[in-house]
Amino acid sequence: MCDCPNPAKRAWRGWLPLPPQSGESGIGPWIDLTHRLTEDLSRSPAFPRPTIRQIIAMPKDPANVTEIQMVCHHGTHVDAPRHFMLDGPSFDQIPLDRLYGPAVVWRIEKGPFAVITPEDFEEAHPKVRAGDMVLLDTGWAQHVNSDIYEDHASLSPEAAEWLVDHQVKLLGIDCSTPDLTSHKRPASFTWPVHQILLSQGVLIAEHLTNLRALANSRVEAMFLALPVAGSDGGLSRAVARPMTG
């Protein structure tokens, strides 16, 4: 996703309270959940094509220097509350502990334009704990850079409320948005999933990949990005590894 929104429908309500850190940690090699960043990577039709170019290059010059120009919602990234909340925290204002920690990876495979519901979450394993992140393997990352990538499933508003009720601190998904895909939105569309989650500090990570190897397990995950002042999102090198127990 994240197309440019209409004026915010919800105000910032503050960070969702979380329990103390559990002390869980992962083991073994990290798995990269990040798409390789290119100019041609699948993106929202609302966004311009990025530019990645060398402005200084060897052997003509003494060093190589690459310049990038792109929206902060291109490729694998995390949405800050500021993305949809006029008064919400920007990415540099996100507490660090909201961007790493224990997570559950749920394999909830869905076809084109399907809806993910609270019932899907109730049936998923392992069970989520307060303070966890939830990473959804819908099987859609395999369609990146194809014509059907934007035909992905979406969450119902009730599913978003379920995540808030269960004190989830970050939702990650293997497609461009947890909201209805861009070419199916009515003119009155208000991005309800983003509104529900971000207004209460539940962060959203989009365009994840390589979740299948971790499906239906507890993991340690990190979604770190540069704290650009005032930014509504952050390009992330997202990684995860299985938990020890």
pLDDT per residue as tens digits for the range 135-165? 999 999 999 999 999 999 999 999 999 999 9
Identify whether 198 is part of a domain.
yes
Residues spanned by the domain of 157: 31-242
- Residue 5 is predicted with a pLDDT of 44
Domains identified in the chain, total number: 1
Q: What mean pLDDT value characterizes the chain?
A: 94
Q: In whole angstroms, what is the distance from residue 198 CA to residue 45 CA?
A: 22
Quick check: 191 and 209 in contact, CB under 8 A?
A: no
Indicate whether 8 pLDDT > 80.
no
- Residue 22 is predicted with a pLDDT of 81
Q: Radius of gyration (Cα) for the chain, nearest Å?
A: 18
Angle CA(127)–CA(238)–CA(85) in degrees, nearest 5? Answer: 80
Q: In whole angstroms, what is the distance from residue 164 CA to residue 196 CA?
A: 8
Q: How many helices (H) and strands (E) does the chain have?
A: 3, 13
- CATH code at 205? 3.50.30.50
- Residue 7 is predicted with a pLDDT of 44
- Section 213-221 average pLDDT: 97
- Section 214-237 average pLDDT: 96
Identify whether 23 is part of a domain.
no
Identify whether 4 is part of a domain.
no
Identify whether 93 is part of a domain.
yes
pTM: 0.94
Identify whether 18 is part of a domain.
no
Quick check: 74 and 185 in contact, CB under 8 A?
A: no
- Residue 6 is predicted with a pLDDT of 47
Question: What type of residue is 92?
Answer: D
